[in-house]
Amino acid sequence: MNSMILKPQDILVLLKLIALGDRSWSYNRLAIELGMSPSEVHGAIKRAISANLALEIGRHIQPNRRNLEEFLIHGLRYVFIPDRGEMTRGMPTAHAAAPLSRDIVSDQEPPPVWPDPEGEVRGMIFSPLYRSVPEAAKNDPELYELLALVDALRGGRAREREMAAKELRRRLDFYESHSKPEY
């Protein structure tokens, strides 16, 4: 049995596939949009398939919705623990970003942010899942929301994690019902 270790960028690639829905993609396009190299994207897809978080059906690759949901909701926070740090400028994440920011009233604590010199919010550093996450999120609002939900699962309080899990399930259900692979 070959041993394989998931990497944070594997989750980023899978979330991008969810965000794309049934739109076609290529390794090069994913690489450009995610700020990764094509070989990094290819490796991420291979690891995701090996971990049963993605399925290869013919020449079509798609996230394995049930396994991915289980891993994101129950396992991610134990594997990809966020680093937290001092105040900085950045992009809001977790409960401070959409969609959770619409339902969670902010307490007086500074919001969690991914460090970004162009960021318009001051908050506490919350390390992104992967180094290119802020740039990838700026270019894809749907991906940004998925990453913020995942960050709420990685580092949120119980209520934030519960709300994030509910919203993530809803989005994964939508993905599953609207992505019809061509075999």
- Domain coordinates of the chain in residue numbers? 8-78, 82-172
* Half-sphere exposure of residue 101: CA atoms within 13 angstroms, side-chain side: 14
pLDDT of residue 183: 38
**What's the pLDDT tens digit per position in 23-48?**
999 999 999 999 999 999 999 999 99
CA distances from residue 50 to 1, 5, 65 in whole angstroms, order as listed? 11, 10, 15
117: Cβ contacts below 8 Å, ≥ 6 apart:
89
**Beta pairing partners, 148:** none
Under-70 pLDDT residues of the chain: 1-3, 106, 180-183
Level-2 CATH architecture, domain 8-78: Orthogonal Bundle (1.10)
Say if CB 112 and CB 89 are below 8 A apart.
no
Per DSSP, the three-state class of 50 is helix
The whole-angstrom separation of Cα 128 and Cα 80 is 10
- How confident is the model at residue 178, as a pLDDT? 79
Residues 6+ apart with CB under 8 A from 44: 7, 9, 10, 12, 13, 14, 36
Question: pLDDT at position 109, please?
Answer: 87
Contact 176, 65 (CB under 8 A): yes
pLDDT of residue 104: 77
Write down the pLDDT at residue 181.
Answer: 52
Other CB atoms within a 10 A radius of the CB of residue 14 amount to 24
In degrees rounded to 5, what are phi and psi of residue 6? -65, 150
Give the Cα separation of 18 and 176 in Å (integer): 9
Give the pLDDT score at 182.
Answer: 47
